[in-house]
């Protein structure tokens, strides 16, 4: 078991009041984020990212992996449009789908990931990376880092003037996070170490001397799935939709074919409801994920002093 948490991982504010404790995490009254509590040890995290997390054969069954590739292709197009010329760094690049999509557009792109054997993916912490980048991407990865604020500060240092930082994280202030509480899909304990609100993310980017240009409650993806997973999980026997859509090698526990089929059928029936809920929460401005684009200004603001 790791250490008990006394300060917020995002804003460093105190979170030692017992009334702030939730199941597996602690809420920060200052910034509205939550920090996983107790903080998992390196061994616990190693076990939590076992071979099943991202097996070589791919994670998802059926059209899942190809759908994921298509979505990454769209993200690559957007990045290519908003970033100045130069290389792109994808922090927590997973199986490298985004860097491949960027390379296909003629961009130099490298990724950071645990235990990768690819030449364009380095097993490094972002703090160990040097050089100059046109964009740094944290696509559902910032929440996995033990020092997310330090990572933002270093990412800003890596950006060339005019370079962009792109972040997508689950939004703890979303309606789905509130509706499903301890059973919200995107808590993903213990792998997610910090659970950010949209407000906390945008505030952190501004505090890192970046100009926030665009914030979206839908572009970060997973908004419908968060609802669908939650709704299916309310059914008798608490079926786990995430396990059901994964390939056999990517599951944490065995699932009989009939259990899997019943879970997928329930998901099919509940999909319209999940889509409606996602639409409503996004329209209310608090989507299940928050996506932000922030730019390093080309020139630092000049302070004029008069004699």
Binding site for Zn ion (CB under 5 A): 8, 10-11, 13, 28, 30-31, 33
CB of 7 to Zn ion, least distance (A): 8
CB of 100 to Zn ion, least distance (A): 36
CB of 294 to Zn ion, least distance (A): 19
- Which of residues 195 and 260 has its CB atom nearest to Zn ion in the complex? 195
10 Å CB burial of residue 1 (0-12, 13-18, 19+) is: exposed
CB of 194 to Zn ion, least distance (A): 9
- Our CA angle for 298, 303, 307, nearest 5°, is 150
- Which of residues 172 and 277 has its CB atom nearest to Zn ion in the complex? 172
Chain centre distance of CA 70: 18
- Which of residues 5 and 126 has its CB atom nearest to Zn ion in the complex? 5
Is the backbone of residue 12 left (phi > 0), alpha (psi -120 to 50) or beta?
A: left
- Which of residues 30 and 84 has its CB atom nearest to Zn ion in the complex? 30
Task: Provide DSSP, 169-222.
Answer: EE-TTSHHHHHHGGG-GGG-TTT--EE--HHHHHHHHHHTT-EEEEEESSTT--
The residues facing 138 across adjacent strands are 167
CB of 31 to Zn ion, least distance (A): 3
CB of 8 to Zn ion, least distance (A): 3
CB of 181 to Zn ion, least distance (A): 19
- Which of residues 203 and 239 has its CB atom nearest to Zn ion in the complex? 203
- Which of residues 129 and 194 has its CB atom nearest to Zn ion in the complex? 194
First to last CA, the chain: 60
- Which of residues 97 and 197 has its CB atom nearest to Zn ion in the complex? 197
CB of 34 to Zn ion, least distance (A): 9
Q: Measure Cα distances from 146 to 49, 141, 227, 267 in Å.
A: 15, 11, 27, 34
Longest dimension (CA), the chain: 81
Per the CB < 8 A criterion, the answer to whether 113 and 94 are in contact is yes
Is the backbone of residue 203 left (phi > 0), alpha (psi -120 to 50) or beta?
A: alpha
Measured N-to-C along each axis, helices 64-82 and 97-104 cross at an angle, to the nearest 10 degrees, of: 50
- Which of residues 11 and 267 has its CB atom nearest to Zn ion in the complex? 11
């Amino acid at each position: 078991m790791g250490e008990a948490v006394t300060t917020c991982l995002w804003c460093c504010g105190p979170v030692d009041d017992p009334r702030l404790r939730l199941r597996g995490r602690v809420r920060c009254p200052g910034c509205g984020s939550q920090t996983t509590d107790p903080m998992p040890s390196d061994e616990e995290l190693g076990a939590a990212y076992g071979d099943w997390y991202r097996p070589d054969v791919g994670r998802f069954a059926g059209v899942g992996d190809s759908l994921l590739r298509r979505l990454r292709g769209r993200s690559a197009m957007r990045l290519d449009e908003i970033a100045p010329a130069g290389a792109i760094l994808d922090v927590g690049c997973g199986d490298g789908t985004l860097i491949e999509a960027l390379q296909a557009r003629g961009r130099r792109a490298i990724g950071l990931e645990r235990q990768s054997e690819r030449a364009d993916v380095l097993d490094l912490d972002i703090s160990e990376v040097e050089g100059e980048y046109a964009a740094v991407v944290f696509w559902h990865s910032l929440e996995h880092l033990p020092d997310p604020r330090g990572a933002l500060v270093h990412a800003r240092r890596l950006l060339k003037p005019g370079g962009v930082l792109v972040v997508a994280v689950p939004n703890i202030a979303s309606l789905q996070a509130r509706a499903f509480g301890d059973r919200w899909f995107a808590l993903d304990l213990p792998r997610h170490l910090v659970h950010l609100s949209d407000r906390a993310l945008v505030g952190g980017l501004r505090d890192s001397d970046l100009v926030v240009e665009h914030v979206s409650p839908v572009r970060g993806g997973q908004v419908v799935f968060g609802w669908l997973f939650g709704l299916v999980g309310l059914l008798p026997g608490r079926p786990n939709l995430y396990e059901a859509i994964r390939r056999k090698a990517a599951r944490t526990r065995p699932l009989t074919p009939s259990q899997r089929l019943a879970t997928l059928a329930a998901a099919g029936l509940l999909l319209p409801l999940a889509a409606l809920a996602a639409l409503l929460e996004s329209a209310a401005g608090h989507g299940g994920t928050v996506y932000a684009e922030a730019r390093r200004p080309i020139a630092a603001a000049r302070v004029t002093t008069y004699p």
